[in-house]
Structure 1
Amino acid sequence: MTSFQSTLGEEEGIAEELAAGQREISIAEFFEKNKHMLGFDSGARGLVTAVKEAVDNALDACEEARIQPGPDIYVEIKEVGDYYRLVVEDNGPGITKEQLPRVFGKLLYGSRFHAREQSRGQQGIGISAAVLFSQLTSGKPAKITSRTQGASEANYYELIIDTDSNEPEIKTERETSWDRSHGTRIELEMEANMRARAQLHDYIKHTAVVNPHARLELREPALDEPLKFERVEGASLPAETEEIRPHPHGVELGTLIKMLEATESYSVSGFLQGEFTRVGKKTADKVVNGFRDRHFGREMSWPAPEGVDLEAALTDAVSGKGAKATSIFASEIADVLDSRDLTAHHELVGIVDNVADATEEETGKTFGDTVRENAVEAAWTKMTTGRVGGPGADA
């Protein structure tokens, strides 16, 4: 035994010791230690990010629910002791009692991640990340009130995120009266400052400009009067977004495999036409045939077709060479293929080239690239049509 092996022996059990220290971490626990990745790297930026996430959620909710005449969003920032209190209130459709804790208390929970349509929010991280930032800096739960259309009372929750499990931990849950017929209100306390006041005002102004159908109001300590942006007269909700299918060029192989596993289509051609944009029958057939050429054509060998006049098909593929030269060319290729047990695509190309060269010497006729390609295509079609993986088989 070498000295190195002896040293290794002294460390017997180190792998088990290391394995004992390994454990799974939740996404909430990860962002708890990496909140800068979500835009909460400082008190100034964190406050602006929290406002943005809440306002974007409100706009998306109102537009999806087609709330008329449009979104009505109220933002208030107050200095309360050592912390800042952020309140964002909207007139959206509200959130059901069953969904509310998870919407605000679970990272990566939302309705838009799998939808291929434009929206401000996508991953289901934003507002729950603001809740996480709030509880980390102030230790206080988020306070949420929400009422759905037609409900007699609103639902009130106080909650935090359990970072070990990425699940909401509800501190208070009750029904409460609220003067809004529908909407959502969130209140967060956080360690923050107003050094990014200019960026905050710019965000509210720019949001109002690009959303003329919305009414926005901001109250914060430095303002003597609320910063209000009224709904533009005649402005209507933007047209509803439509879900789009992906383009084949933008899909990676792994994603394609997952799509194939999940599709309800019975054929590859149907899958391509149904799951991708700008793919019709002609394009789908071209893709399928290209796949066959590559995988069945170059990697699989086929016998000469039985009961098929291969010579006639080859004759039809040749034009302008005269009857005698054409007959010699076609019959020789057919004879060679009939004499072989199996022929692959690249072997067929070689056979056609050899016969063409010999026919040129014998007849003085030129058999160029186009004639040769047509002959290969005609022979290959006859050899593969109707067979497993061939052009005539189900795709």
Structure 2
Amino acid sequence: MTSYQSQLGEGEGIAEELAESQRAISIAEFFEKNKHMLGFDSEARALVTAVKEAVDNALDACEEAGILPDIYVEIQESGDYYKLVVEDNGPGITKEQAPKIFGKLLYGSRFHAREQNRGQQGIGISAAVLYSQLTSGKPAKITSRPKGQDEAQYFELIVDTDTNEPEISVDETTTWERPHGTRIELEMEANMRARSTLRDYIQDTAVVNPHARIEFDEPGLDESLKFERAERAELPDETEEIRPHPHGVELGTLLKMLEATDSYSVSGFMQEEFTRVGGKTADSVIANFNDRHYGRGMAWQPPKVGEDADIEAAVEDAVANKGAETTATFAAAVSDAIHDRDRVAYHEVEAIVDDAAEDAEADGDTTFGSTVRENAVDAAWGAVTADLTGDLYALVDDVTTKRKE
């Protein structure tokens, strides 16, 4: 035991003392100390990551608005730092939303959407803003002009890591030659050691997005790289949101979905909340979850001697082509095992039949396949449940008697 632990153990109210040091942290504060998890683990990689996040945002904004993307990317040397500028001709961002998009982590519209897209968590561009302010101490500069508005809105902001909210230092209107779009400027510690990677990214992005026009400029270029839009290029088809597939949903998620659904039946829930699930599939799933398969079904008393139901005879009749002696031995084993129990459930009958079949196979050359076993189970269960009147009366009488007491 360390001296510190020894001192703690000697006093009273230690739990309260330790509890005082516990506090919640914001997601922004977490990534402030773990920026490597976002791709900002080196100055060279940080610049590539920031460019990628800004370009992805620009492409997404244009495509969602049905606009052929026109994107400008520039990297400038700015004293001890590098300045990244990314412009697009997208629909622009409203005054209310712009600060949150750039200054709040985990803020976006796609986290709950199950569709193919470039981003989902709402972290990328705000993480670039966070890295920028941490390394240069300077705010991000955002200019955005929504389509149809005469003026653009200009912001300077940082991410408040204590609250994960944007902290705006400048909020004003300005003029901008673009009729609509967004521009972001970030200053950060970086270097151009990954210059080839950066150029490859821009080129590859242009190749896989032939509908976009991309211009890229950086200090090592004599003139900017221009990747023109392909002739007759059109926007890619809009992605459609899909529902989850049952195989991809974990139990906790399923329970949450059940609590939130508006469906009034399990079948309706299955068909409305999952993809590739129709009425037939839903019925099959429900059948597989029937309680009797998992040991939670009703257990019934075996028929007594003298009652019409005869388990042994029923099983013998259900088994064909196995030889009279083997069949009789098998049927007797099933009947004896069932009668040895005070009550028996369907899944227990299945286990009894399997055990008897394996014993019969071990004693001879006869094979009891799945079909034979299923027939034997159905026959035995039919005999057990042939007359439930007396058993039901006993159960009801037992419950009502206890309640009266």
Does the 8 A contact of 2:81 with 2:189 survive in 1? yes
Rounded Cα–Cα distance in structure 2 between residues aligned with 1:98 and 1:211: 30
Residue 224 of structure 2 is aligned with which of 222, 226, 247? 226
Rounded Cα–Cα distance in structure 1 between residues aligned with 2:113 and 2:167: 28
> Does the C-alpha gap of structure 1 residues 382 and 15 become closer, same or farther in structure 2, counting only changes over 3 Å?
same
Rounded Cα–Cα distance in structure 1 between residues aligned with 2:262 and 2:75: 50
- Partner-residue secondary structure (3-state), 1:174: strand
* Pairwise CA distance, 1:141: 0.9
Aligned to 1:324: none
1:313-352 matches, within 5 Å, as 343-349=344-350
Q: Which amino acid aligns with 1:98?
A: E
Rounded Cα–Cα distance in structure 1 between residues aligned with 2:138 and 2:383: 76
1:237 maps to 2:235: yes
* Pairwise CA distance, 1:299: 4.6
Does the 8 A contact of 1:298 with 1:345 survive in 2? no
1:107-126 matches, within 5 Å, as 107-126=105-124
Residue deviations 1:311-355 (CA, integer Å, cap 9, x gap)? xx999978899xxxxxxxx9xx99xx9xx9964114544787999
Aligned to 2:54: 54
Residue 169 of structure 2 is aligned with which of 171, 174, 177? 171
- Partner-residue secondary structure (3-state), 2:286: helix
Rounded Cα–Cα distance in structure 2 between residues aligned with 1:302 and 1:155: 75
Aligned to 1:370: 371
> Does the C-alpha gap of structure 1 residues 153 and 316 become closer, same or farther in structure 2, counting only changes over 3 Å?
farther
Rounded Cα–Cα distance in structure 1 between residues aligned with 2:221 and 2:351: 84
Rounded Cα–Cα distance in structure 2 between residues aligned with 1:354 and 1:160: 70
Rounded Cα–Cα distance in structure 1 between residues aligned with 2:47 and 2:351: 72
Aligned to 1:22: 22
Rounded Cα–Cα distance in structure 2 between residues aligned with 1:92 and 1:258: 37
- Partner-residue secondary structure (3-state), 1:151: coil
> Does the C-alpha gap of structure 1 residues 194 and 287 become closer, same or farther in structure 2, counting only changes over 3 Å?
same
Rounded Cα–Cα distance in structure 2 between residues aligned with 1:367 and 1:136: 72
User: Once structures 1 and 2 are overlaid, which stretch shifts more, 287-296 or 52-61?
Assistant: 287-296
Rounded Cα–Cα distance in structure 1 between residues aligned with 2:57 and 2:370: 62
> Does the C-alpha gap of structure 1 residues 213 and 315 become closer, same or farther in structure 2, counting only changes over 3 Å?
farther
- Partner-residue secondary structure (3-state), 1:74: strand
Residue 252 of structure 1 is aligned with which of 250, 253, 263? 250
Rounded Cα–Cα distance in structure 1 between residues aligned with 2:239 and 2:383: 48
* Pairwise CA distance, 1:274: 2.0
Rounded Cα–Cα distance in structure 2 between residues aligned with 1:355 and 1:40: 65
Percent pairwise identity? 76
> Does the C-alpha gap of structure 1 residues 348 and 81 become closer, same or farther in structure 2, counting only changes over 3 Å?
closer
> Does the C-alpha gap of structure 1 residues 320 and 195 become closer, same or farther in structure 2, counting only changes over 3 Å?
closer
Aligned to 1:326: none
> Does the C-alpha gap of structure 1 residues 100 and 354 become closer, same or farther in structure 2, counting only changes over 3 Å?
closer
List alignment gaps of at least 5 residues for structure 1: 1-5, 305-309, 322-329, 357-365, 385-395
Aligned to 1:391: none
* Pairwise CA distance, 1:144: 0.7
1:98-137 matches, within 5 Å, as 98-137=96-135
* Pairwise CA distance, 1:370: 3.1
Rounded Cα–Cα distance in structure 2 between residues aligned with 1:353 and 1:209: 62
Aligned to 2:389: none
Rounded Cα–Cα distance in structure 1 between residues aligned with 2:368 and 2:196: 77
CA RMSD of aligned residues (A): 4.1
* Pairwise CA distance, 1:81: 1.8
- Partner-residue secondary structure (3-state), 1:15: helix
User: Once structures 1 and 2 are overlaid, which stretch shifts more, 345-354 or 37-46?
Assistant: 345-354
Rounded Cα–Cα distance in structure 1 between residues aligned with 2:222 and 2:356: 94
Rounded Cα–Cα distance in structure 1 between residues aligned with 2:144 and 2:252: 40
Rounded Cα–Cα distance in structure 2 between residues aligned with 1:251 and 1:343: 34
Normalised to the residue count of structure 2, the TM-score between the two structures is: 0.78
Residue 182 of structure 2 is aligned with which of 180, 184, 197? 184
> Does the C-alpha gap of structure 1 residues 32 and 352 become closer, same or farther in structure 2, counting only changes over 3 Å?
closer
Residue 274 of structure 1 is aligned with which of 265, 272, 277? 272
Residue 209 of structure 2 is aligned with which of 208, 211, 231? 211
Q: Report how many aligned residue pairs link the two structures.
A: 373
Q: Which amino acid aligns with 1:231?
A: R
Aligned to 2:287: 289
- Partner-residue secondary structure (3-state), 2:24: coil
Q: Which amino acid aligns with 2:13?
A: G
Rounded Cα–Cα distance in structure 2 between residues aligned with 1:214 and 1:382: 73
Rounded Cα–Cα distance in structure 2 between residues aligned with 1:382 and 1:28: 66
Aligned to 2:400: none
Q: Which amino acid aligns with 1:17?
A: E
1:135-174 matches, within 5 Å, as 135-174=133-172
Rounded Cα–Cα distance in structure 1 between residues aligned with 2:348 and 2:7: 60
Rounded Cα–Cα distance in structure 1 between residues aligned with 2:355 and 2:9: 68
> Does the C-alpha gap of structure 1 residues 9 and 117 become closer, same or farther in structure 2, counting only changes over 3 Å?
closer
User: Once structures 1 and 2 are overlaid, which stretch shifts more, 9-18 or 83-92?
Assistant: 9-18
Normalised to the residue count of structure 1, the TM-score between the two structures is: 0.79
> Does the C-alpha gap of structure 1 residues 291 and 380 become closer, same or farther in structure 2, counting only changes over 3 Å?
farther
* Pairwise CA distance, 1:133: 0.7
Does the 8 A contact of 1:106 with 1:128 survive in 2? yes
Q: Which amino acid aligns with 2:59?
A: L
